[in-house]
Structure 1
């Protein structure tokens, strides 16, 4: 056995595999070139009074058998003993066993500094083994004394919450059968007061789309940990002799430079591991335009309106299949409704293609309506049967049992029609204990089969909006629907925090109606356009009802988005830590720092008559930049604007970052777009 020191992108992981149990000695900032043996020997702590009589060390699989009285990694079986360890290409494999169980632990540090850890548990005994839980734990230092994670509701996903990490456990559990609108999403432990651009942080995300738990613990014994794993119901996973259970990957990142430093590692890694076809097409989705009112004439006018403003992908949402006139019936009957579409979808798709756009289609394969032909023919395919309440008038389809049917129906649709995109929805929780593991694995299998058979078809993960955004499903999809709300004020917060983990080009953001359908709140067109600019942009609005002036602005916005998307969808995402929470600044800076786009956003009433200067993070301090306003001008309340705004200004990056520029006096719910270029 030996010591291992993995290093990449300013991060070090040191694992000591010389003893009975593998020990994680360090996960955090790069330790540089190091005599690992000398340092490891020097890290042995003292033995305090009223404790075990040997130094307490935090192992890779901590348990009571080692003196760890915190939440254990594995609660089944006796003490594990290290039997083998190996390292290759910044990946460590560690095998531990106790006679009846064997655990293979994998630790991989990517070139971007992203650490992935998972365990595999194999039953080596003669009897079946119930797996009560197997979690991944990573150490965090005492300085990581403040936590950030997320909660939320439908249309209000990923709302941040902060609290101090004191002695005890802060644990977030999801029992939705999907991550849920209140998903913790990312748990960050950091120095108190850490922000987007400052403070040391340690962050963890579980790459899993089913039930899960993620937690932070500070023990009175002196150690702190971040931990996560699948949340298993009693008896949900049982291993026969020789069978193996594999945990989801824990994705962990350390940053010395706050939350933007977390994104600096995750975004390039995601772009490399799950690359997208660029450029990302501008979408029009029909949902808030027509809802269930599917009529070829109406939709043809919408197709024409979409093409005139520059849309590149037209997506037909819910309502196209047999008997689906509202949300109370027909889920599972995946046949084109011949009453509404007597010639199938061919006339509409032909119109879409004639106007130079791709065609996409909405589906919800994991669900079944009690009022459907499928439910009548296969009541045994309803997960949990008829017990428990319906949710949006629907129940959950057992994807494992219905796999062949779903694959056949989706294959038939994708074969008959030239469909480039599926919006894959999931509009309720499971609410059936003990089924989430099997259902999630069956979903992954179905998506993988479709991806293999139809590699040209892109899939969007939608779950009542943003209730299933995670790095477990990401390799199988190409887009996330970030939230069901198109209200720009809500979207500013949702996109801001979702984007800490997910790069903008994976996140769908649409221009909605002037009065948001979900909130009823009115908003200016310029605010809506600026909010939808940065991600995978689209429209969810009946353009046939837009005014001529609005269509001009929308067409100009799409032209601007197409010009900027090579930057927006490859660059570095940055945020300013503004002193006034009513004023926010976020942007994207090119990887070579030659070009940038920022949005100055007012999400409330500013605290002062003259707001703080606009300070642009992420620029090259020694390079000159010309700053100019672009897009629809925001509404302001001022007798005179800052003079630089009229024709722009050219200044060094150091000045723009440190001193900044005077801000115009935007009223609430407005956004000013600023482009920075080389003079």
Structure 2
């Protein structure tokens, strides 16, 4: 039974009185409720453990101050025992534009603890802590995992005692004095989500994904997005954006998102944050002309906002310097400071300005950014206020969807996904980086929540060039979109993008409801990932080569997750290929390979009738691999015969 550990109170004199003792418990097989009290009657903790039908264990606690003086809470974590055979630890770290980097260790005895102190999860968020049998993979090994559904400071940890006891736990990371409970007041922990699998990391996804789909579903189908940031940046020229909207509609885009630069004084990133009114110098008629263009083309309008931040160079900061979190002397980060949303005046100001925008324009989608660490005390209150603001705006405008963006993937967790239908996985649109980031983000987050866009040939952040085919295949599997100036693309390339959009629309019902699978290859190249329908009737797979392989001949391609007792017709899905393309465009779309001829099965699969094979062969034996060039992807479909 999960019990709170490290229930720490200050001053220290109270800690000795606070050892929790079980006072009451009741359960029905699906939920356990229990009450803990200390012997002195100064504090009580109520715990709830829910065993969800998907196999996710949800643990939360509430501590109440029974004393007549304030109670300073230092921590309240939850922990569960795990077997001694769980010797290996995997969690995530990362950087801006390189989030969710996996790291593995066998730490031995003692505590392996990962903490975030950014006031947000951050790009180095441990994200999901997994302990398991040595050398576990996506399809092998026994694993236990923990995720804290919280968008502020946190910690995840595992401990191995010399007595042979292992534990896995986590909780909110509180700063000294951050939570002080008045007499009779309570503090509620974020939910700690736990899951076990006997079949590696894919087994965890098979529990977390359907749980997330049940507790916080998003409307399906997911609309195809065009975000204008890497198309125009701060150059908000109305005529240029109108042309972009027209071309976006022509290729099948369903949601047009106006990014940073639309509000007062916002000509670059040094001014304007906090002044959420349309800039009359840029938009003398407001956003109404663009709205008419977008809506007349049959698309939804989305808008970029950053409600938690403020530029010192803004009307808001000049009028209310006391609303800036941290006080005088707090450094800026990216030319901005944090707006103290726990301050009632600041909260009301930003809420009312955003409500006015929602009332004037048919905004169906907010790309909600958060581009700075807090750099000040107050992460707990700020996180709760942000959640409340999101909740209020969604209640005010039913159907409003929020995308969680935090200088890219700095706020990706299942706490914010109770309120946001989409997460911006990373600021990089480089498909080589994106393949890695999406692979590991997707262990926890279902694909329909993960935004991925087709960018320019040369990536904005890395400067690396990638083929159009690799970019299309990378963005195909999630909540798909485009982030480039299509008005500068030639007719052939626009035709390719339109065909890709149409193929995604035809397949997104499967992609956004099925079981996510990954193959385990000895040296990691090529990587295989895909989505299989819940009934096993169909699957879509990508065979991806990111870099050099350890061997001259890559291992077989196994289409894991298919029903071994059924037969499947395997076909090549040539994303974006249409009749009449010139040779250069066709070469840019088709995957590049180092081979005189493809394997016989692949030559047959490239034809309309495909190749028919037993599921057991596809999943256990595999298919001879095509020696793809680095940074190339081959997409396959498998349909039950």
Cα distance in 2, alignment partners of residues 524 and 403 from structure 1: 45
Q: Kindly indicate whether residue 193 of structure 2 is the aligned counterpart of residue 251 of structure 1.
A: yes
Cα distance in 2, alignment partners of residues 582 and 541 from structure 1: 30
Cα distance in 1, alignment partners of residues 496 and 550 from structure 2: 31
Comparing 107-116 and 628-637, the one that deviates more: 628-637
In the TM superposition, structure 1's runs of 4+ consecutive aligned residues that sit over 6 Å from their partners are none
Pick aligned residue for 1:152 from 94, 99, 105: 94
- Give 1:354 deviation, angstroms: 1.2
Gaps of 5+ in 1: 1-14, 16-23, 25-59, 66-73
Task: Provide the TM-score with structure 2 as the length reference.
Answer: 0.94
CA contact (8 A) 1:75 1:133 kept: no
Deviations 1:81-132 (A, max 9, x none): 2111111461111101120000101101100010011111100011110001
- What RMSD in Å do the two structures reach over aligned CA positions? 1.3
- Which residue is 2:142 aligned to? 200
CA contact (8 A) 2:61 2:189 kept: yes
What are the equivalent positions in structure 2 for 1:170-189 lying under 5 Å apart?
170-189=112-131
Q: Kindly indicate whether residue 596 of structure 2 is the aligned counterpart of residue 656 of structure 1.
A: no
Pick aligned residue for 1:641 from 582, 598, 609: 598
Deviations 1:394-424 (A, max 9, x none): 0000112211111111111001001110000
Deviations 1:145-190 (A, max 9, x none): 0000000000000000000031011111111000000000000000
CA contact (8 A) 2:7 2:76 kept: no
Cα distance in 1, alignment partners of residues 131 and 29 from structure 2: 28
Cα distance in 1, alignment partners of residues 6 and 549 from structure 2: 51
The 3-state SS of whatever aligns with 1:428 is coil
Change (3 A) 1:76 1:669: farther
Q: Kindly indicate whether residue 359 of structure 2 is the aligned counterpart of residue 419 of structure 1.
A: no
Cα distance in 2, alignment partners of residues 565 and 337 from structure 1: 37
The 3-state SS of whatever aligns with 1:386 is coil
- Which residue is 1:503 aligned to? 446
Deviations 1:295-317 (A, max 9, x none): 01111111111111111000000
Deviations 1:539-558 (A, max 9, x none): 00111111222111111110
Q: Kindly indicate whether residue 39 of structure 2 is the aligned counterpart of residue 82 of structure 1.
A: no
CA contact (8 A) 2:428 2:434 kept: yes
- Give 1:78 deviation, angstroms: 2.8
The 3-state SS of whatever aligns with 2:571 is strand
- Give 1:609 deviation, angstroms: 2.7
Q: Kindly indicate whether residue 375 of structure 2 is the aligned counterpart of residue 431 of structure 1.
A: yes
CA contact (8 A) 2:7 2:18 kept: no
- Which residue is 1:674 aligned to? 636
- Which residue is 2:579 aligned to? none
Cα distance in 1, alignment partners of residues 593 and 555 from structure 2: 16
- Which residue is 1:448 aligned to? 391
CA contact (8 A) 1:165 1:217 kept: no
Cα distance in 2, alignment partners of residues 289 and 64 from structure 1: 51
Cα distance in 2, alignment partners of residues 258 and 63 from structure 1: 30
What are the equivalent positions in structure 2 for 1:177-576 lying under 5 Å apart?
177-401=119-343, 402-433=346-377, 435-576=378-519
- Which residue is 2:46 aligned to? 104
- Give 1:64 deviation, angstroms: 11
Cα distance in 1, alignment partners of residues 376 and 227 from structure 2: 32
Cα distance in 2, alignment partners of residues 643 and 582 from structure 1: 21
Cα distance in 2, alignment partners of residues 306 and 396 from structure 1: 35
Cα distance in 1, alignment partners of residues 457 and 129 from structure 2: 35
Gaps of 5+ in 2: 9-13, 576-588, 606-610
Pick aligned residue for 1:132 from 60, 74, 93: 74
- Which residue is 1:166 aligned to? 108
CA contact (8 A) 2:7 2:77 kept: no
- Give 1:222 deviation, angstroms: 1.4
Cα distance in 2, alignment partners of residues 339 and 675 from structure 1: 51
- Give 1:221 deviation, angstroms: 1.8
Deviations 1:224-243 (A, max 9, x none): 11111111111100001100
The 3-state SS of whatever aligns with 1:133 is strand
- Give 1:79 deviation, angstroms: 2.2
Task: Provide the TM-score with structure 1 as the length reference.
Answer: 0.89
Q: Count residues in correspondence.
A: 613
Deviations 1:521-560 (A, max 9, x none): 0000000000000000000011111122211111111010
